[in-house]
Amino acid sequence: MHLMISDAGVEFVIKFCADLATHEPIDDRERESIKVFCELAPLLRAPFDEHSDTTHVTASAIVTGAPGVVLHLHKRLNMWLQPGGHIDAGESIDQAALREAREETGLQLQHFLGLPRFIHLDVHPGPRGHTHLDVRYLLIASNETFAPAEGESKEVKWFAWDQVLDTAEDGARGAILAAHKIINL
């Protein structure tokens, strides 16, 4: 029997669904993802625990810097995606996005303007029949040299803003557009 970990996700989901009411979706895909998130996530006993249910909340980040946007070639999926992944026990979702991005890129990163900033939501199939409710943040790199952690994809690249949409997987495009809009305010 799997013991449910203490999951701060329940509290997050309640507040996040309320906050999403004022979030302006970047496209129809995000609009649908918001609808699905607010239907599914409140039903989860432990939304941040990847072992509790095949549907769970994940965290990712659009990483930007002087050269543009970072994508990595996902090892199992063989797609160019933004860094991200599962939320560890005791970790907040914005901490998970930062940790995952640091592990997968090796870059020195911080949240945009020093504060966690949710920019995009995407619901998509994950590996092993899972559904990922992916909450995305905007991170800024203070260096440009990659040093992914052991076991992470070594295929990490900077893409210019005007080229990244040609390479990024469909699910990442909306988040990249949302980041670009914020960066260029």
Give 109: exposed, middle or buried? Use CB within 10 Å, 0-12, 13-18, 19+.
Answer: buried
Strand partners, 84: 60
At 5 the pLDDT is: 46
Q: How far, rounded to the nearest angstrom, does the alpha carbon of residue 7 sit from its chain's CA centroid?
A: 18
* pLDDT value at 22 more than 60: yes
State pLDDT tens for residues 114-153.
999 999 999 999 888 999 999 999 999 999 999 999 999 9
Strand 131-141 with 55-65, pairing: parallel
Nearest to 14 by CA among 36, 37, 32, 30: 37
Question: What is the spatial distance between Cα 135 and Cα 84, in angstroms, rounded to a whole number?
Answer: 9
Question: What is the spatial distance between Cα 127 and Cα 131, in angstroms, rounded to a whole number?
Answer: 8
Contact 117, 74 (CB under 8 A): no
Contact 144, 65 (CB under 8 A): yes
Q: Is the pTM of this model over 0.75?
A: yes
